[in-house]
Chain A
Amino acid sequence: MNLNELSLTEVLEGIEKKRFSPQEIFADCQKRIKEVDEKTKAFITVIAETRNAIPFAIKDNFCTENIRTTASSNILRDYIPPYNATVYQRLIDAQFGLLGKTNMDSFAHGSSTETSDFFVTHNPWNLERLPGGSSGGSAAAVMADETIFAIGSETAGSIRQPSAWCGVVGLKPSYGRVSRYGVIAMGSSLDCPGPITKTVADAEIIYKTIAGKDPLDATTVDRSLVETSSFEPKKIRIGLAKEYLEVAEKPVRQKILEAAEVFRRLGCSVVEVSLFDPRYAISVYTILQRSEVSSNLARYDGIRYGSDRTYFNKENKRRIMLGTYTLSAGYYDAYYLKAQKIRTVICQDFEKAFEKLDVIIGPVSPSPAKRIGASTADPMFGEKEDVLVEPSTIAGLPAISLPAGFVDGLPVGLQIIGNRWQEDLILNLGKLFETETQYYKIKPKL
């Protein structure tokens, strides 16, 4: 077995027992990248040097000092930041070593990596399929064993959806849990970095490494990472999101119902729950995110960074224009303000649900990975694909995507949504499910 195929948990154990060195793992990952990355095209930048550190990959919207950081945009194609994102800093402080920077939708504008200004990333399960996005490069790299783990960022679905489509684990923490400092902003009130890993146990390790108050990000909170004192499956009340199942394609729905059965078998109580129609979240999310995008991208005005505004791609421009419109005098109340009000309604809807439930489960995406080219025909592709992850992101809730089986050889993702700050609960449940199902052991042939 090559060391690059190990999970982080296995790697840590092996190093502890002196079976191999971090450098050997690093070298094996680099070898794997050389072998398969021309197929997956997960990486934009690969570090040449072999370090004596457990290797990881990071999405190319995390600033890395002296290492090119592009956000997959031609505007920043030669941008070298003079500072590190907090998440990256915490990882290298914890003795992890950077393998390279992964592909994404340009400025995270998409759910496919097809809006990347450089190239499309391919799904390791089927190279004709999309990996999802925007953290598609990170998810594909993990599934293809090009890295031990990766870091992604999510505004709505950008960690969960590619993790689901590629068959890996993706944790989107509560908004405010993990620092956004140094992450090239998309929708600032929603952006959230998180781990993409081979197992839930791995996700927990990385989550604990990167989470916590950051004096450089005013929206991070200072509170314990452990919210629940004990974990007893028999006491867990799971809500199966009715409307979410209805939106999903039938074979996907079937996998989620099977997952619900697994939880029942493990002693949890599973009841159907009716939530605010997730389709309303599409409008709310689109307006809030586009408004923030239009402001966040204003700094690429052609004066600095070397490329003027003509280097924005079609999707970038569409978002800037829509966001500028929704913030304009006379339209602000009708769009932005109304969206904020519905955001409050969605938050209250979840609050109500969590009075009687501990977590909510459902599909991550209505379908398994779509074909390459699918996103180009529809300007609202991402928003529709992400319909089942938008409500929880709007409410700032933590959620995890984990493998729940296969449909026609493509992985299906189950999501567990927790109440705010309850990452530990969804991680515990995820570990329980993963130990029982062991889908993570099934790997694609590349």
Chain B
Amino acid sequence: MENKEYQPVIGLEIHIELATASKMFCGCDAYHFNVEPNTHCCPVCLGLPGALPVPNKKAIEWTIRLGLALNCRILEESKFDRKNYFYPDLPKGYQISQYDQPFCVQGKVILKEGREIRIRRVHLEEDTGKLLHTEIGGKKCTLVDFNRSGIPLLEVVTEPDFQNSQEVDEFLKDLQRTVRYLGISDADMEKGSLRIEPNISIKTKSVKGKAQNDEELPLYKVEVKNINSFRFARKAIEYEIERQIEILQGGETPIQETRGWNETENKTVSQREKEEAHDYRYFPEPDIPPMNFTPEKIAEIKKQIPELPEKKEKRFIKEFKLSPYQVDLLIETKELADYYEEALKINGKIDGRKYSSPSEIANWLINRKVDIKTVSPEKLIKDLIASKEVTSVSEAEMSRIVDETLSENAQAAADYKKGKTAVLGFLIGQAVKKIGPQADRQEITRELIEKLK
């Protein structure tokens, strides 16, 4: 969908719920998926009068971990701020977030094709409660569940550097994988622990006859909410690009607004128009002192970062001579990649004929869909070796068995000679039956072809 006149400009806001044991500012259990409403709450996350927030150190470290993984700069001095707004799921009337001194700024990610996506910031805030619109005794009402209130919520904001939905898709999948490698969240879109809000606009080469500067951004943008899968993200972006180009082609400018993805109708629908940016009256959170991060502290956090997928990918290709396809599947999760390397280690101790190549092990792991939770790497190698052990048969014996197979299946042999090579498989099978399941198929095939010439 390349269009020289119309260039999509896409930026992302991504929210990730951190998987810390306790909430962001209190000791409550942070697990809230399918939990009885309002059971994981205390004065702090209920915003009761007098309660005070005490920041979760782990959540802060994890935020910096992701910031470092996204090549961000970590600010030496950081602080929390209050973002003031009213909503029934926000018990204090303000959300503790970060405004002008987020933990991480100015990162970047390089996509496969080499394009760079700049990361504006990675900051930490608290999640809100959840509203449940329901009916009680025939009366419509709204209930609030505060189990989610105060869950650490990390926000990644990119610059508007994406040009199409494929780039967004690649970025998001890489980000999800990185987050999982870091062990900071399950980043599951269905559970809402990963939420995406793309903002989309279209840059035209000329505005009212005036050539537009390359750096200049369009004068509007459309934010899309309510996206709960990667597929919908792709579809919503593509839909918006088309919709906006159509408006521009009609000589008009799309309005700045927030739209929601409607998955049943496969389209975005207007939710609210944004006249002015909301005034959140940010100010420094007086209940939490500012925080300092020394280079030593940052180095310490850096040490907790495991080898990330991008690096692992390169190493696997180089060190194990695997294909990009194999590597892509092997590094899908850190657990699988670690398992593979564990299997290689065991394999390395095996000498001579029984030794398998890294590629063989990779294929075995991928093709057999081995369940790494139940099959140990030792067992995997054992199985692989067993599969290669062949019942050895002397040359004379092999020749006799193949002759016998051909005479018993004369019709198939004749068909083969007429060009129906597909029967070869059948003939191999017949020969294997005579020798046993561990028969050397390669040897049989060679012998059969020789005799069928």
Contact = CB atoms under 8 A, between A and B. Distances in A.
Interface of A: 61-63, 69, 71, 76, 79, 81-83, 85, 180-185, 187-189, 215-219, 291-292, 294-295, 297-299, 301, 303-304, 324, 327-329, 332, 336
Given A76-B49, A79-B49, A82-B48, 17 more contacts: A69-B49, A71-B49, A83-B43, A181-B50, A183-B50, A184-B49, A185-B50, A188-B286, A218-B53, A218-B289, A292-B283, A295-B84, A295-B94, A298-B94, A299-B47, A328-B281, A329-B277
Contacts of B55: 218
B93 A181 contact: no
B88 interface: yes
Contacts of A217: 52, 54, 287
A298 B287 contact: no
Contacts, number: 96
Contacts of B92: 298-299
B51 interface: yes
7 contacts: A82-B43, A217-B54, A294-B84, A299-B49, A327-B281, A329-B277, A329-B281
Contacts of B88: 303
B91 A216 contact: no
Question: Quick one: which of B51, B283, B289 has the most chain A CB within 10 A?
Answer: B283
A216 B49 contact: no
Contacts of B50: 61-63, 81, 85, 180-185
A181 B51 contact: yes
Contacts of A184: 49-50
A304 B129 CA distance: 14
B93 A301 contact: yes
A328 B53 CA distance: 24
Nearest to A79: B49
Size category, B interface: 20 to 34
A332 B283 contact: yes
B288 interface: yes
Contacts of B279: 328-329
B119 to A, nearest CB: 26
A383 to B, nearest CB: 19
Contacts of A181: 50-52
Q: Which 3 A-B pairs have the closest CB atoms?
A: A298-B93, A189-B286, A327-B281
B52 A216 contact: yes
B33 interface: no
A29 to B, nearest CB: 26
A218 B287 contact: yes
B177 interface: no
Given A292-B286, A299-B91, A215 B54 contact: yes
A133 B270 CA distance: 52
Contacts of B282: 327, 332
B385 to A, nearest CB: 57
B82 interface: yes
Interface string B62-102: 00000000000000000000101010100111100000000
Interface string B17-60: 00000000000000000000000001100011111111100000
A304 B144 CA distance: 11
A297 B82 CA distance: 13
B17 to A, nearest CB: 22
A309 to B, nearest CB: 11
Contacts of A85: 50
Contacts of A82: 43, 48
A69 B86 CA distance: 25
A303 B93 CA distance: 11
Interface string B271-291: 000000101011100111100
Contacts of A219: 286-289
Contacts of A291: 283
A188 B282 CA distance: 15
Contacts of A79: 49
Contacts of B43: 63, 81-83, 182
Contacts of A324: 281
B51 A182 contact: yes
Q: Which has the most chain A C-beta neighbours within 10 Å: B54, B144, B277, B289? A: B54
B93 A81 contact: no
A327 B282 CA distance: 7
A69, A185, A303: which has the most chain B beta carbons within 10 Å?
Answer: A303
Contacts of A295: 82, 84, 93-94, 281, 283
B54 A218 contact: yes
Contacts of B54: 215-218
Interface string B89-118: 001111000000000000000000000000
Contacts of B277: 329
Interface in B196-235: none
Contacts of A71: 49
A61 B283 CA distance: 24
Contacts of A294: 84, 281
A291 B286 CA distance: 11
Nearest to B47: A299
B283 A188 contact: no
